[in-house]
Amino acid sequence: MLVISTRVAKPAIVARRLLAVAIGAVLLLIGCAYSPHGTVNDALGLRVAGNRLIDAQGRATRLLGVSVSGTEYACISRLGIFAAPTTGKAIDAMMSWRINTVRIPLNEDCWLGINGAPARYSGARYQAAIHGYVTRLNHAGLHVILDLHWNAAGTTMATGQQQMADLSHSPAFWSSVARTFSADPGVVFDLYNEPHDISWRCWRDGCMMPAGWPAAGMQSLVNAVRRTGARQPVIAAGLSSGNDLSQWLRYRPHDPADQLVAGLHMYNFHACTTVDCWNRTVTPVTHAAPVVTTELGEGDCSATFISRFMTWADATGVSYLGWSWNPVGCGAPALISSWSGAPTPYGAGLRYHLCQLSLRQRECRAVVRRL
């Protein structure tokens, strides 16, 4: 029975109720784009088949693109939700680099609306904003990788990266994210950004950290995603901040959907930076699972290192995404010098290489000059 009160609600209460209704409407409209009945996103469907990623037509594909930093830190720092423009014009600027994938780093507390995350930028508002951005990227024909980037255990605010995902909130985070995007075939889940300074057993099974908080292993994060019914590929990054895949095959978690991808990070200041090291530690993994380099970068304002790695990755079928699409100086490293997509010297190396993958060299030079 609906009981209608004759009392006049306070303006603040009315405003909150109207905001809740508005956010709900936005999520409902966005959700329509993810309906499984013949949507624009169906063409973006990815799945793991053996050691390859294949698209909706069954063709082998690689994820080649950029990470857009900001959604991991802006919210918790009271700067907003995004640190980058997310309009159609901004997406067009990224697409002019001939990418097919965008990676979005997320903040655990902002998504869940916990631990003092600013209400203005967290919870339902944060989720709706991320959801909307993913929709725009998908409609532009781009795959999206969602990455758990910043987290913290217990009541500590998530203001940075930890050694590993936390048992307190990370499984709940992935349950929520996976439910939200379970019907979107254009999304891939990157379970934890840069595990480091833990054992491989802890990486897979979890453990108690020296600081006294329990870490969640990759297995518990895979389980959290799959219990929602989500079937998209999941990425498990290696140790040493993603740079070490030497024991990935031995300790890889079990995925009941058989959609597990190895995540690699590659910077010129990492330990494994030579072709010999890549052949010893990464190539064996490529024989058993897809490998996606979810972060590729160079901190010396040149593209010498990333060019060498991309040439090797092209020959071995490894995917790669440049870090990051933010004009904060090439040494950061940052790919662009302005939001228009003008590259830094480092970014120019990625842009030209991506262009060469789809055009003849002479045509690519002409395209790059026009950008």
- Read off the pLDDT of residues 307-344 as tens digits, 9 standing for 90 and up: 999 999 999 999 999 999 999 999 999 999 999 999 99
Determine which helix (DSSP H) or strand (DSSP E) holds 106, and give its type and residue range: strand 101-107
All residues at 6 or more sequence positions from 96 whose CB lies less than 8 Å from its CB, including other chains: 341, 371
Say if 332 falls within a structural domain. Answer: yes
Q: Which of 165, 136, 126 is nearest to 149 (CA)?
A: 165
Say if 22 falls within a structural domain. Answer: no
Burial of 148 (0-12, 13-18, 19+ CB in 10 A): buried
Q: Print pLDDT tens along the chain (371 aa).
A: 322 232 333 334 334 444 443 444 444 444 444 443 345 568 899 999 999 999 999 999 999 999 999 999 999 999 999 999 999 999 999 999 999 999 999 999 999 999 999 999 999 999 999 999 999 999 999 999 999 999 999 999 999 999 999 999 999 999 999 999 999 999 999 999 999 999 999 999 999 999 999 999 999 999 999 999 999 999 999 999 999 999 999 999 999 999 999 999 999 999 999 999 999 999 999 999 999 999 999 999 999 999 999 999 999 999 999 999 999 999 999 999 999 999 999 999 999 999 999 876 666 766 655 54
Give the C-alpha separation, 287 to 264, whole Å: 15
User: Can you state the percent helix, strand and coil of the chain, rounding each to 5?
Assistant: 35, 15, 45
Say if 294 falls within a structural domain. Answer: yes
Q: How far is CA 128 from CA 86, 322, 351, in A?
A: 13, 26, 31
Say if 36 falls within a structural domain. Answer: no
Give the C-alpha separation, 211 to 297, whole Å: 31
All residues at 6 or more sequence positions from 235 whose CB lies less than 8 Å from its CB, including other chains: 145, 188, 189, 190, 191, 261, 262, 263, 292, 294
Report yes or no: 151 and 191 within 8 Å, Cβ to Cβ.
no
**How many domains does the chain fold into?**
1
What is residue 143's three-state secondary structure?
strand
Say if 31 falls within a structural domain. Answer: no
Structural domain containing residue 216: 57-370
Give me the CATH number covering residue 292: 3.20.20.80
Report yes or no: 102 and 65 within 8 Å, Cβ to Cβ.
yes
List helix spans (H) across 43-83: none
Q: Burial letters for 337-357: b for 16+ Cβ neighbours within 10 Å, e otherwise?
A: bebebebbebbbbbbbbbbbe
Report yes or no: 193 and 161 within 8 Å, Cβ to Cβ.
yes
pTM of the model: 0.89
Q: How far is CA 197 from CA 144, 162, 242, 246, 352, in A?
A: 28, 10, 11, 15, 35
Q: What amino acid is encoded at 207 in this protein?
A: C
Say if 35 falls within a structural domain. Answer: no
